[in-house]
Amino acid sequence: MPEAQLDNEDLGHLRHFDNLSRRQRNDWSLMQNKSIGQDDFGGYRFQLSYMVYALALTHRNRLPAAPGLFRPVIRRLIDKLLEPEVWLYWRDTSRGGAPFNAHLAGKLGEEWDPVVRDNIMYSAYVQSCALLHDYLFGSDEFTAPGSLTFEHWSFFWGGEPKRFAYDRDSLNEHIYWQMVQNGYLGVACEPNCVFQICNQPAILGFRLHDLITGGNRADEVVAGYEQAWRDFGRLDETGHYNRFVAEDSRAVVPGGGQSAWSDAWCGALMNMWNRDFVRANYPRQLQDFLVREPGGTLSVRPTAREFEGMPMNYDWCDFGWTSVWASEMGDAETLDGLLAHADRYMSPTVVDGGRYYPRNDTIFDADGHLVEVEPMTGNTLLGYARLNVPDGLWRLYNEPFDPARFERPALLEVARNVDVSRAEVVDGKLEMRLRARDDVPGDGSVGIGRVLGRGRWLLCADGEELARVEGHSVTGEQVRADGDLLVLSCPARDRAFQLVPLV
């Protein structure tokens, strides 16, 4: 049964995701992070991918009968995920030379193909987002050869045009064999660095592929992953998640309880297949980061901004990831306290109906309250946390959608200016709560599919009869037939609609 209907804050976050998805190519307004080159945790790839995840979880767990609300937005975000501006960092990062792979500098040539080796911090997101799209919407869109293609050519630099063509199946296969070849330890992010966190989305991708095709690779990979990490320990000696393993030396870099983002990100994702373990460690791990404030709000101790004497002014997103972690754990007290802090100190803003928290590079205000907001946190993670439900990812992973959903009535088209706060089928009845906004472009209509030509139906609004459907014939107010869709014109005020099958 879906969770409670969406409130105005929930709807605002969905609309912000939609607004960002509609920006012109290479318009990254509101999304630029502090660092240069898209190589930290606030990069476009993470913002885009976790918007897709948040939308997918909201559809799966809260608005299951509104595919037409989610599919276009997810599709546009995936298109942006394939843009060169998102993945060109790999041309430089692939060469090594960072603190944890400095010994590889000069030994690795630059690699333009962003998924052919390492870089699971990008490839797994392309894989899992494409599979989410096709799984949720019963689509084969990303099975077409070249449907996931990375292209770039510049008149001024870079040589010949670059074009690397994949699809959801070939990319899934490629990542799987990288896992196998590395003994299931995982695939590296930066060369030589196998992070626990960024291999979790790949596991989600394998599970989605299994759900679509009937395979069992996710079970195989999880079993192999558990065995491989048993040699290192998923947790370090302080009880926090080990961050990564160096491929060549097999040296482990611990989390050490120094950064909330590390535990929170790993725990929120790993919960989908390892719930008991994650939940057993969550309370103790959380207390090392949580800051309790007067007035009942909660904050998070931010990550240190230096590494071996070098400044690290990056987008760590400690506060945002802790909020997502609490939401997945079903820890309402912590989530409510964090969101209360965000609403009090992080300047929630509404633009074109979309709700977000604007970037703020100042860490603390004059009274010592955390006010720093990274675009990843303000655009994506706080919205994700608010929209998610307890065990949201776990449900997606372990409780497959009923295939019969593709035969039930659903909102297959939703105008841009329509807010959908409820859409579910209950005992054969399509229950909807809809309103049309006057501050956003759109004709205020929704298209209900799988109704016309399928018997007799009664459409009510707040308990009052609006229209009747007899086969393909429609009589009544605010509705009309258009091809295979029953088109409903939504009112400017919030109303509850019910489409009831008649015997």
Determine the average pLDDT of the residues in 251-272.
96
The per-residue pLDDT for 464 is 95
Q: Please say if the pLDDT value at position 499 is more than 80.
A: yes
Q: What is the mean pLDDT of the chain?
A: 96
> pLDDT tens for residues 125-139?
999 999 999 999 999
Alpha helical stretches, state H, 238-330: 260-270, 275-287, 318-329
- What gap in Å lies between CA 173 and CA 19, rounded to an integer? 33
The residues, any chain, with a CB within 8 Å of residue 189's CB and separated by 6 or more, are: 118, 119, 120, 121, 195, 198, 244
308: which 2 tokens? Answer: 């071996």
Q: Is the pLDDT confidence value at 3 over 80? A: no
Token couple for 29: 């307004």
Give pLDDT tens digits for 320-350: 999 999 999 999 999 999 999 999 999 999 9
**In order of start, what are the domains of the chain with their CATH numbers?**
411-502 (2.60.40)
In whole angstroms, give the CA distance from residue 224 to residue 157: 43
**Cα separation values, 77 from 21, 126, 136, 470, Å:** 5, 11, 15, 39
**CB neighbours of residue 23 within 10 Å:** 14
Query: CA 132 → CA 137, 212, 329, distances in Å?
Result: 8, 10, 22
Task: Report the distance separating Cα 79 and Cα 142, nearest Å.
Answer: 12
If pLDDT is split at 50, 70 and 90, which confidence band does 272 have? very high
Q: Tens of pLDDT along 13-62?
A: 999 999 999 999 999 999 999 988 898 999 999 999 999 999 999 999 99
Question: Residue written as tokens 């992973």?
Answer: 397
Q: Is 0.95 surpassed by the pTM of this model?
A: yes
pLDDT 10s digits, 67-92: 999 999 999 999 999 999 999 999 99
Tokens of 66: 């509104």
pLDDT band at 1 (very low <50, low <70, confident <90, very high): low
CA pair distance 16, 5, nearest whole angstrom? 18
φ, ψ of residue 410 in degrees (nearest 5): -160, 160
E strand or H helix at 144: none
- The C-alpha atoms of residue 388 and residue 384 are separated, in whole angstroms, by 6
**Is the predicted pLDDT of residue 365 greater than 70, yes or no?**
yes
% residues pLDDT > 90 (the chain): 92
Place of tokens 């947790």: 235
**Taking 70 as the threshold, does the pLDDT of residue 307 lie above it?**
no
Instruction: State yes or no: pLDDT of 99 exceeds 90.
Output: no
Give the E-state strand segments of 23-179 in sequence order: 148-152, 162-166
- Which residues, other chains included, contact 43 with Cβ-Cβ below 8 Å and sequence gap of 6+? 33, 86, 89
Which pLDDT score is estimated for 74? Answer: 99
Q: Enumerate the β-bridge partners of residue 411.
A: 448
pLDDT of residue 308: 62
Tokens of residue 233, six digits:
């320990």
Q: pLDDT tens across 202-233, in order?
A: 999 999 999 999 999 999 999 999 999 998 99
pLDDT at 164: 98
Confidence class for position 100, pLDDT limits 50, 70, 90:
confident
pLDDT tens, 410-459? 999 999 999 999 999 999 999 999 999 999 999 999 999 999 999 999 99
Nearest alpha carbon to residue 202 among 154, 253, 135, 130 = 130
What pLDDT sits at residue 309? 66
Rounded mean pLDDT of 346-364?
97
How many angstroms separate the CA atoms of 26 and 145, rounded?
25
Greatest CA separation for the chain: 75
Q: Is the pLDDT of residue 292 over 80?
A: yes
Give 502's contacts (C-beta < 8 A, 6+ positions apart): 455, 456, 457, 458
For the chain, the first-to-last Cα distance in angstroms comes to 25
User: In terms of DSSP bridges, do strands 429-436 and 445-449 run parallel, antiparallel, or are they unpaired?
Assistant: unpaired
